[in-house]
Amino acid sequence: MPRPRKIRFVQGHPIADVFVPNSIPPLGRQEAFLPIEGLEAIRMIDYQRLDQETASRLMNVSRQTFGRILAEARTVVADALVMGKTLRIEGGNFVVPPARRGRHGRSWGG
């Protein structure tokens, strides 16, 4: 029996939850689905430039699990971009934790 999944922490829901190509590819409109925790992993590593150890702590997962979430998210995004698929950001196993105060007085993720 597999272990139950640990709840992942994310800063909040995405600003936009769908990205649509401006033309329909030859194979017709297809969709790729990116879980919200995948977007969170990309945001922390590629946008905020955090290291994986810090990002994994903020998401409440192990460094190995974080690496897997990030790799899967990048694969989904690459598939959508290369193949001209609609990218939908939805679902996953996450919670938005209550604001926490850091040593600089900023709330979590801010």
Q: Give tens-digit pLDDT for 11-52.
A: 988 999 999 999 877 778 899 999 999 999 999 999 999 999
In a domain, 103, yes or no: no
Q: How far is CA 66 from the centre of its chain?
A: 10
Give the range of the structural domain holding residue 84, as residue numbers without chain letter.
27-94
Whether the predicted model's global pTM rises above the 0.75 cut: yes
For residues 71 and 18, give the distance between their C-alpha atoms in angstroms, rounded to a whole number.
Answer: 20
How confident is the model at residue 1, as a pLDDT? 76
Q: Which amino acid is at 96?
A: V
In a domain, 54, yes or no: yes
In a domain, 15, yes or no: no
Residue 84 reports pLDDT greater than 50? yes
55: how many CB neighbours lie within 10 A of its CB? Answer: 22
Q: Based on the structure, what is the number of domains in the chain?
A: 1
Q: Which residues pair with 88 in a beta bridge?
A: 18, 33
- Give, in degrees to the nearest 5, the angle at Cα 5 between 60 and 40: 45
How confident is the model at residue 88, as a pLDDT? 97
Categorize the per-residue pLDDT at 103 as very low, low, confident or very high, splitting at 50, 70 and 90: very low
